[in-house]
Structure 1
Amino acid sequence: MGRSWSGATMAAVAVVMCCMAVVEAYVYTVGESYGWVVGPNYTAWGFSKSFKVGDYLVFDYSSEYSVDEVFENDYNTCNVDHPISSDKSGSTAFNLVAPGPRYFICGVSDLCKKGMKLVANVTT
């Protein structure tokens, strides 16, 4: 005789199956042990990572720097006049909530032109 599954048992199995599909978010510290400073090659660093929706980017930096999220054109020209967001707190986190590129620069002086800029290409 076959076993009959109750509604509660089937619901529990469905919950377990859904939980198995959940992927944990990864937290990336930009520049890793260097942090957000002049010097590291953030272009190469960004291309070496596989950013996924739900991951976080954390920028750690001193008070002499900032992190600005900008549009692509402003990223390309290092224009800090119209940031999407700007922070100088010393530790800034961004949740990568949608696929596509995200653009970040340092908004202080000409530091973007000295390489303090990052593209995070986010995938699903």
Structure 2
Amino acid sequence: MNAENTGNAAGEYNVELFVNESSVDSQQISLDVGESTTVTFDHSEETPGTYTVKVGGQEATYTVKEKSSMLLYGLLSIIVLLVGMIAYMFTKGGWTVATLQAKVDELIKSVNSKR
């Protein structure tokens, strides 16, 4: 935010940051006649939602979105891929439930033998 002293005397001003009508930060500034400065605030929200911010008569809104987990997306992609591969093997690959059981048993034995 840009603050400027347009009066005829030096003065101090308290610049306040409001988020959803609550004061969350403030800065005391001193300006000589005709002097201007930029006031910045560093504020963040953890809870998803829409917030209204006000500073010195200016107002804006911003939205905080829920964090997405890349690990979750990766795991879901692997599961979908595995299910698709198994479905393909049953429909086009000639597999039966007995074949699947034999492959699972083989995988388990392979993992156990490497320990």
Higher strand share: 2
| TM norm structure 1 | 0.30
TM-score normalised by L of structure 2: 0.32
Q: Which has the larger radius of gyration?
A: 2
Structure with the larger RCO, 1 or 2 (CA within 8 Å, 6+ apart): 1
Structure whose residues are more often helix by fraction: 2
